[in-house]
Amino acid sequence: MTARNPTACLLIIGNEVLSGRTQDANIRFIATKLSEIGMPLREVRVIPDMRDVIIDTVNEARAKFDHVFTTGGIGPTHDDITSECIAAAFEVPWEAHPVAWARMERAFRAGEFNPARQRMATMPRGAELIDNAISVAPGFTMGNVHVMAGVPRIMQSMMDTLLPRLPHGTPIASRAVHAFRLPEGLIADGLEAIQKRYQGLDLGSYPFYRPSGNGVTIVAKGPDAASAEAAIAEVTALILSLERSPIQGEPEAGTAAGN
């Protein structure tokens, strides 16, 4: 991560993740997309549907990070309070958005664009819509805050809309090598020495415990792909010196929760 890359913060708004009812399905998707455009995610916060908490957290995050992404709380029910809290955070009126209102009014039959649904067309003054391919109700951008739905497939479609509008930094290159039957405690000292020689990289060590066997994955991340490759080449030599077999890439790539 270079110092010049824009930074991002994600706020997951809603009681359902905090209560354990829902398994989060949004962090990884957003983290991966932002990493691809060189806007590293520096913090995630999961916060409840509480007005003061949302307002304070949004204001803290938008001052501290270049871009803030929120998911959740923009539906039609009483616990969907994100939109009005964003207005309060920016100290602007929360009012009908003419484009969103007209579009939603058309989408529903007469009498079905009720007060609850009208709330989804009510936004902070100055909001720019974030359309999506799934639902007629849009998200919106206010300043550096991007307000999206919590439902994963709607959020994903909103991210597709949003990504071309965002500033892009230097993409973060990632290279990995793994080895079975290699405890972290054996490779740690050699790894630290390599990290010291590559100050522009993040060298991460991740043990895994899988049916196919236990071991460790070493990941080098940074804006310079060549130096990520060079560092992983040194780690590969280190693994050989410990009499293990280095394997390029991640074990069973795509498997969740293995770390």
* Residue list 23-42, contact with a copy of itself (CB under 8 A): 23-25, 27-35, 40-42
* Closer residue to a copy of itself in complex, CB, 44/233: 44
The answer to whether the beta carbons of residues 225 and 176 sit under 8 Å apart is no
**Edge to edge, what strands does the sheet with 247-248 contain?**
202-210, 213-222, 173-180, 247-248
By CB under 8 A, residue 78 contacts a copy of itself: yes
Residue whose pair of structure tokens reads 């997309």 in the numeric block: 33
* Closer residue to a copy of itself in complex, CB, 54/145: 54
Among 59, 144, 170, 195, binds a copy of itself (CB under 8 A): 195
Among 2, 133, 167, 192, binds a copy of itself (CB under 8 A): 192
Distance, in Å, from the CA atom of 34 to the CA atom of 28, rounded to the nearest integer, reads: 10
Among 241, 245, 248, 259, binds a copy of itself (CB under 8 A): 259
**Longest Cα–Cα distance in the chain:** 74
Q: Is the dihedral of CA 158, 65, 88, 127 positive or negative?
A: negative
Query: Where in 48-77 is the site for a copy of itself (CB under 8 A)?
Result: 48-49, 75-77
By CB under 8 A, residue 213 contacts a copy of itself: no
Q: Is the dihedral of CA 193, 188, 259, 64 positive or negative?
A: negative
Residue 188 in tokens:
């740690």
DSSP bridge partners of 207: 216
* Closer residue to a copy of itself in complex, CB, 91/189: 189
Contacting range for a copy of itself; rule: CB under 8 A; set: 22-30, 87-95, 157-165, 233-241? 22-30
Among 204, 224, 236, 247, binds a copy of itself (CB under 8 A): 204
Among 56, 92, 117, 126, binds a copy of itself (CB under 8 A): 117
Tell which phi-psi region holds residue 209, choosing left (phi > 0), alpha (psi between -120 and 50) or beta. beta
Binding mask 132-171 for a copy of itself (x = CB under 8 A): ------------------xxxx------------------
Q: Which residues of 232-245 are buried (b: 16+ CB within 10 A; e: fewer)?
A: bebbbebbeeeebe
Query: Where in 2-21 is the site for a copy of itself (CB under 8 A)?
Result: 12, 14-21
